[in-house]
């Protein structure tokens, strides 16, 4: 069944993406936007399906217009480890995340019916000379991804499991209600029974 027939769509995902770009680059003009727009692809994907096949990806930037995506790493023992959640108005550049890694060990799974915008990063790079603002946009996207990864590493170095849990629900109150306990436990780096004990402990306070 085609993806587009089994999901409720947001009114205009392309316009949502433009608004997201404008928050980073308010000076983006119509000519620059037209250059970006010509290479955009909209996909509607049902829950539990893969957003991106990293083994075949053309270094595409993925922007979530609607829905929720789980970024999963599969370790050498075949265990799935959740390393990130992507919600509405967030994007990721898989080729940056996978730098120096084995792409087949990663997957991007839709947890909800999801609408995404895919944009070839090579197309963005081709416009750097003619449209300097696009280079700035590409740099900001890369910096955002790197900052996220650095912050995530730091949380495991500085905080214990309970502190990581409390930080997550404090920073992601809406997202907390949209992910399963198993996925959240995986993201926090603990087993589900441990997360249940932490939740029970907090509920008695």
Instruction: Mark out the alpha helices in the chain (DSSP H runs).
Output: 13-24, 30-37, 94-97, 121-126, 132-158, 161-171, 173-176, 181-188, 192-203
Prediction pTM value: 0.84
Please report the pLDDT score of residue 197 as a whole number: 95
The 10s digit of each residue's pLDDT in 109-118 is 999 999 999 9
Backbone torsions φ then ψ of 116, nearest 5 degrees: -130, 155
In this prediction, residues 88-117 reach a mean pLDDT of: 75
Please report the pLDDT score of residue 155 as a whole number: 95
Does the pLDDT value for residue 1 go beyond 70? no
Does the pLDDT value for residue 39 go beyond 80? yes
Does the pLDDT value for residue 179 go beyond 50? yes
In this prediction, residues 155-183 reach a mean pLDDT of: 94
In this prediction, residues 10-28 reach a mean pLDDT of: 91
Does the pLDDT value for residue 94 go beyond 90? no
């Amino acid at each position: 069944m085609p993806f587009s027939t089994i999901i409720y769509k947001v009114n205009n995902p392309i316009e949502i993406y433009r608004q997201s770009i404008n928050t980073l680059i308010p000076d983006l003009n119509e000519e620059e936007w037209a250059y970006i727009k010509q290479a955009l692809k909209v996909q509607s994907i049902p829950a539990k399906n893969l957003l991106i096949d990293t083994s075949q990806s053309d270094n595409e930037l993925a922007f979530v217009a609607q829905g929720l995506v789980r970024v999963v790493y599969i370790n050498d023992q075949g265990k799935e480890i959740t390393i990130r959640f992507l919600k509405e108005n967030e994007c990721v550049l898989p080729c940056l995340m996978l730098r120096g890694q084995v792409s087949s060990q990663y997957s991007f799974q839709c947890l909800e019916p999801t609408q995404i915008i895919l944009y070839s990063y090579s197309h963005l790079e081709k416009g750097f000379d003619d449209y300097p603002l696009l280079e700035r946009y590409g740099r900001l996207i890369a910096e955002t991804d790197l900052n996220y990864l650095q912050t995530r590493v730091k949380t495991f170095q500085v905080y214990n499991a309970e502190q990581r849990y409390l930080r997550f629900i404090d920073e992601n109150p809406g997202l907390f209600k949209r992910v399963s306990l198993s996925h959240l436990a995986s993201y926090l780096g603990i087993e589900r029974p441990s997360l249940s004990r932490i939740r029970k402990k907090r509920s008695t306070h």
